[in-house]
Amino acid sequence: MTSEVLTSVEGPIGRIRLNRPKAIHALTTAMCEGVLEALEAWRGDDGVRAIVIDHAEGRGFCAGGDIRMLAESGAKDGAEAREFFHTEYRMNHRLFTYTKDIVAFMDGITMGGGVGLSQPCRFRVATENTKFAMPETGIGLFPDVGGGWFLSRLPARVGQYLALTGHRLDGAETHALGLATHYLPAEKLEEAKRRIAEDPAAIETILAELSIEAGPAKLLDHRADIDRLFASDRLEDIYAALEADDSDFARETLATLQSKSPQTMKVSLKLLLDGKTMPTFEDEMRQEYAVGARVVQRHDFLEGVRAVIVDKDNAPKWDPATPEGVSDHVIDQIFAPLPDAEAWTPA
């Protein structure tokens, strides 16, 4: 069987290539373990001076995680889902704290787990093919893999907008928001990788020389609207602001939110509120693991996966069905720290 993650050393470069093309390289526990093992092996290897992460064949960098497995596990005891989150978050944390330069090439679909793979890296390359999103509220999940950390650090209320709506950013928008450090034409990626392998000390210069103007970031035309309409950390207030606004943008945004899980939209708002002042990324991962371990067994996640991925009727029946139905008590229960014996720990 062909490995779903290909790791190799090419001269002074450690290469990590996601290789699950039929699933747009969605991550499995074994893939996360493979990345962790490679990073650990190269950490003390002076011959490996930088790391490159990209994907093998296919139309995207990484579409997320193995959602079907998570739902099947969540419908039972949740043990397999917790194992996946535990391993994936260890990978995210290892990338975040790694001392060697890492370059992630976000060519094509970069969602969920792909965001978690790319955002901890020092260099993050977008192209005209990039489609960047955290669409989890549409399946009763929340923007994990460090979403509470990265999205809360975007300008003003853009992170809250992205977390709740799952809006897809193109490459230019991804770059404008700083989620990508560089914007290259896709045809220049192989040249970039070749030059980095020849001179890993010059990554920044190489990427800068190959970068081009990304073009207009259309979402930024709505920055003032987003900051005003998403000003509150209460979902009910955001709904009220959108309902009181007669612009096309507000109407379309409200319709989008009405299709998402109210429970996990509230989870997302608290995640970003806490994430902005989280002392360390390790603390962020510990909290997200506690939240994920619970959310994966709740009704909305199982129902969201049924509606979007299994039956594909795109008509989830959320419970509770409205923001008002989701009590503060339920959110507090979801966010309660796990007992020490069950809590997430870094690798």
Q: Does 154 fall in a domain?
A: yes
Domain count of the fold of the chain: 1
DSSP sequence for 285-321: HHHHHHHHHHHTTSHHHHHHHIIIIIS-------SS-
Active-site residue, from 144, 225, 284, 288 = 144
Give 3-state DSSP helix, strand, coil % of the chain, rounded to 5.
Answer: 55, 10, 35
In this structure, what token pair is assigned to residue 345? 């720990």
CA proximity to 167, closest of 257, 78, 85, 98: 257
Q: Does 21 fall in a domain?
A: yes
Q: Does 347 fall in a domain?
A: no
113 is an active site residue: yes
Local confidence pLDDT in tens for the 347 residues of the chain: 469 999 999 999 999 999 999 999 999 999 999 999 999 999 999 999 999 999 998 789 999 999 999 999 999 999 999 999 999 999 999 999 999 999 999 999 999 999 999 999 999 999 999 999 999 999 999 999 999 999 999 999 999 999 999 999 999 999 999 999 999 999 999 999 999 999 999 999 999 999 999 999 999 999 999 999 999 999 999 999 999 999 999 999 999 999 999 999 999 999 999 999 999 999 999 999 999 999 999 999 999 999 999 999 999 999 999 999 999 999 999 999 999 999 999 98
Provide the pLDDT for residue 58: 76
The residue segments making up the domain with residue 213 are: 5-342
Active-site residue, from 113, 116, 159, 304 = 113
DSSP sequence for 138-172: GGT----TTHHHHGGGSSTTHHHHHHHH-PPEEHH
CA atoms within 13 A on the CB side of 291: 31
Q: Does 270 fall in a domain?
A: yes
CA-CA distance, 200 to 69, in Å (whole number)? 38
Q: Does 300 fall in a domain?
A: yes
Tell me if residue 111 falls in helix, strand or coil. Answer: strand
136 is an active site residue: yes
Contact 170, 130 (CB under 8 A): yes
The total of other beta-carbon atoms located within 10 Å of residue 335's CB is: 15
Which residues are CB-contacts of 285 (< 8 A; sequence separation ≥ 6)? Answer: 89, 92, 93, 146, 344, 346
Active-site residue, from 58, 65, 148, 171 = 65
CA-CA distance, 60 to 30, in Å (whole number)? 19
CATH number at residue 232: 3.90.226.10
pTM, two decimals, is: 0.97
